[in-house]
Amino acid sequence: MAVAALIVAAGTGVRAGRDLPKQYVEIGGRPVLRRTVEIFLSHRPVDRVQVVIGPGQEQLAAKTLDGLDIPAPVIGGATRQQSVMNGLAALSAHMPPREGTVLIHDAARPFLPVAVIDRVLNALASHAGAIPALAVADTLKRAHDGLITATVARADLFAAQTPQGFDFDTIRDAHQKAASAGRHDFTDDAAIAEWSGHKVAVVEGDARNIKLTTADDLDAADRHFARQAFLDRPDVRVGQGFDVHAFVPGDHVILCGVRVPHDRSLLGHSDADVGMHALTDAILGALAMGDIGSHFPPSDPKWKGAASEIFLRAAIDLVHARGGVLAHGDVTLICERPKIRAHVDAMRATLAGIAGVPVERIAVKATTSERLGFTGRGEGIAALATATVRLPAG
């Protein structure tokens, strides 16, 4: 049996407060569509994943699906029904006659448990079509102009979910029959199979398999992944970093990635960004994985004049390689001059951008040493940093 998944992502509706169709909105740092595709790509019975996108979404889709082992998306039509038809047409060439199975799934359902896929596939062993659904628990009312006109018996009523699975030839032929008959009003694929005279089985859906519909749904999904990212990483490590660079003649300094005009520059092998070096060392300290000098030896000419974001990025990559996240970074710059305050927002945004965390998770502060010591005498700048890293247990 060849099993294809057809992911319908052709919607063009832009929800309140977002500038993208919902399937391209990031939840927990990854687009909804990518999360949905990855569920099927990593589930063994599925051989091929075909995505259908809306006209004009080619660039957005290419960025969203970058690096995934799937064929180029197919362009959908004016209705969901037409989009599915286009997708089935593209899959036709890759499905063996009479032995193909297709799972048609809404891109906006990124919480699909794989057990639901398996229940649908199992039912297809004895039915031409099968869908996951949940028995309706609420009492249903029919109403008109704000007044109830009837109470609808809820026994035997189910709310349909996806993926809806079908014998490939059956659903392709049913779609063609519906189109030939001028029927374009079906809201799901099971309805087309039913209309075409096929029996469609119902298997147990899952309450988690919701369809993200409103801006509130997307926000809630985002919060869910953010919370999960922390719950999954209970091993909290705090690292510290300290760095000093001396002033030399010049006209600017680079601090936390921001160019700050000054009547001196800082001496160093790289760009001498003392703040970014301290934060990088703090992260490496939290991981107990050496220091900036051991990863990027000053003796190596490769790092001469290097932008220090290379170092910070490398430290963040090590956090990710351990399955961790940077929970917080805090940098204190110590100098009499230049004055830092006006640059703090830009510094936080720059560090957060490199680290791939919200700016709320990065602090930059400045203080003087009351004209005492080398920083007080204006001989150089010192920086302190702490980094809080969360790693998976064990």
Choose the stretch contacting Mg ion; rule: CB under 5 A; options: 10-18, 125-133, 192-200, 277-285: 277-285
Q: How many CB atoms within 10 Å of residue 168?
A: 25
Min separation Cβ 3 and Mg ion, Å: 54
**Least separation in angstroms between CB 302 and Mg ion:** 16
Phi, psi (deg, nearest 5) at residue 203? -115, 165
Tell me which residue has its CB nearest to Mg ion. 277
Backbone angles phi, psi at 16, to 5 degrees: -50, 130
Q: Could you tell me how many residues of this chain bind Mg ion (CB under 5 A)?
A: 2
Strand, helix or coil for residue 45: coil
Would you count residue 273 as binding Mg ion (CB under 5 A)?
Answer: no
- Sites for Mg ion among residues 222-251 (CB under 5 A): 243
- CB contact at 8 A, 254 and 266: yes
Q: In angstroms, what is the minimal distance from the CB of 268 to Mg ion?
A: 6
Nearer to Mg ion, 188 or 243 (CB): 243
Stretch that binds Mg ion, among 19-27, 155-163, 271-279, 340-348 (CB under 5 A): 271-279
271: contact with Mg ion by CB under 5 A: no
- Smallest gap, in angstroms, from Cβ of residue 281 to Mg ion? 8
Q: Are the C-beta atoms of 260 and 282 separated by less than 8 Å?
A: no
Of residues 98 and 302, the one with the C-beta less far from Mg ion: 302
Nearer to Mg ion by C-beta: 272 or 366?
A: 272
Strand 264-266 to strand 158-160: parallel, antiparallel, or no bridges (unpaired)? unpaired
Q: Which two tokens stand for residue 79?
A: 């209705």
Comparing CB distances to Mg ion, the nearer of 168 and 296 is 296
Does residue 390 touch Mg ion according to CB under 5 A?
no
Measured in degrees and rounded to the nearest 5, phi and psi for residue 293 equal -70, -30
- Least distance (Å) from Mg ion to the CB of residue 260? 16
DSSP secondary structure, 166-185, as one string: EEHHHHHHHHHHHHHTT---
Q: Residue 61 or residue 381: which is nearer to Mg ion going by CB?
A: 381
H-helix segments, the chain: 32-41, 58-64, 80-92, 114-124, 168-180, 189-195, 215-231, 274-287, 292-295, 309-321, 344-355, 373-376
CB 292 to Mg ion: min, Å: 7
Query: Judged by CB, which is closer to Mg ion: 106, or 243?
Result: 243
CB of 275 to Mg ion, least distance (A): 10
* Contact between 124 and 165 (Cβ < 8 Å): yes
Out of 80, 277, 343, 348, the only residue in the binding site for Mg ion (CB under 5 A) is 277
Going by C-alpha positions, the residue among 23, 120, 30, 11 that lies closest to residue 76 is 11
Does residue 167 touch Mg ion according to CB under 5 A? no
Enumerate binding residues for Mg ion (CB under 5 A): 243, 277
